[in-house]
């Protein structure tokens, strides 16, 4: 029997009602052997995540809390969350000693990472009890080096050894340990990473990532009303969309499962029957060919456009331009070029305060005939693995933008033919996303 690893996000473990759903989901299949819980998240929009409370509690041991509470008052809020969950679940389990230890160690200065990690740790103890499975502490197997860099291969070995012995278990998300045994967390949202590591370690057949949305949406629901769900997407497409602002999974969480070729299924704890979204490597079974998978974008880029007669014959022109950026520690996003033109696209906040200096240096080393700056550019990426096999995608895209009267300031198609990026004025951003969505929402890749 293949193994499934189930990671549950903060809203899936926010209270007893949600935790009962978790139990029903895990009990529904015998292959759901390993469970990775986050810390309890928000129960309502004005609520505070336990992780945020823990960061506040730690900070309050050193300086006044911004909301005016003492360390003890913040810690009481945290204890109360867990005590209520336990009481509502009716579990005969005493969390008092664990809470007391966490209290004393945070108060004793164990640090922000230790404090934050206890959200998952305490939740893991409860989930292990609820599911009647062994609790496995990731501090014993998820390893970082002394500088805080995650040690993927060493971890993989340890996780494989340890969890193969356990056969089933609950592994709290978000943290591991430094060589001296002290706790180290991943960046925020890092329980996704733990789930991915556990899936790779046990050689899972599927990594189920349970959230509060029924999969990835084809575009941002704040811009397009009720966009379609993406039934399947490749790791590479997801990376392109995440980079442009679509968020569902922690950015790095893809890497462990991707190395091992394990698919990820994004599922909804509140709607467990919905198929969700499957993330796989290209070419794996169940990936239908189609044109557009998703559309994502971001505002606030700056285009610096240079023009110079016979630029194409001038050896080293691009290098000189890029060396100016390098001196300023700037990374560029895109660099479309023509025969005598070259444009650089950078994030506007990255050039804030240094633009004048930058332009002066570019003028000096590149001697352009003209240099034009436009700071208010939005980029919109249309991503689809099937684009390279179907002529007409670009025509359809540009046709839709022309019909909507949108002026395109820049076009870049990655060499993988996986996406087409257009630059438009910030003020045209939402209209651009809507026009592209309307043009492609009915293509086969997006039909669910």
By beta carbon distance, the residue nearest ligand ASP is 191
Closest CA to 212 of 442, 5, 14: 14
State which residue, 212 or 300, has the beta carbon closest to ligand ASP.
212
* Nearer residue to ligand ASP within complex by CB, 190 or 201: 190
Q: Which residue's CB is nearer to ligand ASP, number 123 or number 420?
A: 123
Task: Give percent helix, percent strand, percent coil of the chain, each to the nearest 5.
Answer: 40, 20, 40
Q: How far is the CB of 430 from ligand ASP (least distance, A)?
A: 29
Binding mask 6-25 for ligand ASP (x = CB under 6 A): ----x---------------
- The dihedral of CA 132, 137, 141, 142: what is its sign? positive
Distances (CA, A) of 22 to 32, 74, 194: 11, 27, 18
Compute the least distance from the CB of residue 207 to ligand ASP, in Å: 14
How many Cβ atoms are within 10 Å of 363's Cβ, its own excluded? 13
Instruction: Pick the closer one to ligand ASP by CB: 172 or 290.
Output: 172
Least Cβ distance, residue 321 to ligand ASP (angstroms): 39
Which residues, in sequence order, are CB contacts of 87 under 8 Å at separation 6+?
Answer: none
Q: Who contacts 44 (Cβ-Cβ below 8 Å, separation ≥6)?
A: none
Smallest distance, ligand ASP to C-beta of residue 98, A: 17
Q: Mark residues 310-349: x for contact with ligand ASP by CB under 6 A, - for none.
A: ----------------------------------------
Cα–Cα distance, 2 to 191 (Å, whole number): 22
Q: Do residues 299 and 378 make contact, with C-beta atoms less than 8 angstroms apart? A: yes
Shortest spacing between CB 186 and ligand ASP, in angstroms: 7
Starting at the earlier edge strand, list the strands of the sheet with 32-37. Answer: 169-170, 32-37, 4-8, 206-211, 264-268, 277-280, 232-234
Measuring CA to CA, how many Å separate 206 from each of 158, 216, 263? Answer: 20, 17, 5
DSSP 104-154: HHHHTT--HHHHHHHHHHHHHHHHHHHHT--B--GGGT-BB-TTS-B-HHH
Three-state DSSP at 241 gives: helix
Considering beta carbons, is residue 255 or 398 the nearer one to ligand ASP?
255
Residue 211 binds to ligand ASP (criterion: CB under 6 A): no
* CA distances for 432 relative to 129, 218, 388, angstroms: 50, 14, 22
Q: Which residues between 249 and 308 bind ligand ASP (CB under 6 A)?
A: none
Q: How near is the Cβ of 40 to ligand ASP at its closest, in Å? A: 9
429 touching ligand ASP, by CB under 6 A: no
Interface of this chain with ligand ASP, residues 28 to 67, rule: CB under 6 A: 38-39, 49, 51
Cα–Cα–Cα angle for 31, 176, 7, rounded to 5 degrees: 30
Closer of 195 and 386 to ligand ASP (Cβ): 195
For residue 32, which of 131, 118, 101 has the smallest C-alpha distance?
Answer: 131
Closest contact distance (angstroms) between CB of 35 and ligand ASP is 14
Q: Which is nearer to ligand ASP, 192 or 237 (CB)?
A: 192
Task: Return the structure tokens found at 244.
Answer: 């442009």
Q: Closest separation between CB of residue 172 and ligand ASP, Å?
A: 10
Helix 317-327 to helix 355-366 angle (10° resolution) is 150
For residues 5 and 39, which CB has a smaller minimum distance to ligand ASP in the complex? 39
β-sheet bridge partners, residue 342: 306, 337
**Site for ligand ASP, residues 162 to 201, rule: CB under 6 A:** 173-174, 188-192
Binding residues among 99-128 for ligand ASP as defined by CB under 6 A? 119
- Shortest Å, Cβ 190 to ligand ASP: 5
Q: How far is the CB of 42 from ligand ASP (least distance, A)?
A: 10
Q: Of 49 and 133, which has the nearer Cβ to ligand ASP?
A: 49
Q: Residues touching ligand ASP: how many (CB under 6 A)?
A: 13
Which residues sit at the interface with ligand ASP, rule CB under 6 A? 10, 38-39, 49, 51, 119, 173-174, 188-192
């Amino acid at each position: 029997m293949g193994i499934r690893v189930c990671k549950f996000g903060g809203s899936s473990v926010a209270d007893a009602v949600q935790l009962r759903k978790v139990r029903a989901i895990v009990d529904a299949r015998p292959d759901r052997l390993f469970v990775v819980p986050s810390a309890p998240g928000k129960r309502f929009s004005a609520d505070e995540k336990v992780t945020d409370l823990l960061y506040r509690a730690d900070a309050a041991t050193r300086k006044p809390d911004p909301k005016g509470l003492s360390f003890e008052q913040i810690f009481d809020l945290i204890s109360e969350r867990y005590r209520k969950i336990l009481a509502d679940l009716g579990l005969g389990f005493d969390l008092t000693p664990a809470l007391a230890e966490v209290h004393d160690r945070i108060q004793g200065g164990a640090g922000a990472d230790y404090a934050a990690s206890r959200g998952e740790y305490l939740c893991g103890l409860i989930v292990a009890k609820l599911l009647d499975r062994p609790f496995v502490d990731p501090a014993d197997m998820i390893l970082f080096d002394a500088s805080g860099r995650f040690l993927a291969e060493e971890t993989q070995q340890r996780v494989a050894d340890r969890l193969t012995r356990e056969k089933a278990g609950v592994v709290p998300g978000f943290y591991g340990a430094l060589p001296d045994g002290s706790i180290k967390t991943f960046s925020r949202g890092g329980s996704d990473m733990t789930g991915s590591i556990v899936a790779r370690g046990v050689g899972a057949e599927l990594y189920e990532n349970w959230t509060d949305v029924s999969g990835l949406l084809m575009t941002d629901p704040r811009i397009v009303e009720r966009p379609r769900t993406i039934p399947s997407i490749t790791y590479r497409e997801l990376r392109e969309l995440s980079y442009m602002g679509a968020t569902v999974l922690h950015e790095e969480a893809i890497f462990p499962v991707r190395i091992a070729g394990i698919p990820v299924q994004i599922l909804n704890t509140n709607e467990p029957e919905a198929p969700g979204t499957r993330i796989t490597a290209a070419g794996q079974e169940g990936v239908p060919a189609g044109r557009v998978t998703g559309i994502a974008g971001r505002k606030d880029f700056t285009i610096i456009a240079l023009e110079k007669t016979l630029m194409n014959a001038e050896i080293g022109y691009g290098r000189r331009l890029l060396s100016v950026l390098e001196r300023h520690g700037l990374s560029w996003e895109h660099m479309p070029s023509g025969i005598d033109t070259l444009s650089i696209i950078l994030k506007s906040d990255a050039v804030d305060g240094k633009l004048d200096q930058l332009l002066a240096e570019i003028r000096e080393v590149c001697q352009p005939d003209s240099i034009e700056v436009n700071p208010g550019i939005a980029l919109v990426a249309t991503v689809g693995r099937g684009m390279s096999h179907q002529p007409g995608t670009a025509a359809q895209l540009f046709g839709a933008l022309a019909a909507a009267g949108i002026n395109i300031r820049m076009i870049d198609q990655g060499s993988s033919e996986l996406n087409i990026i257009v630059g438009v004025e910030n003020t045209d951003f939402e209209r651009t996303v809507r026009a592209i969505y309307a043009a492609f929402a009915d293509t086969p890749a997006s039909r669910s």
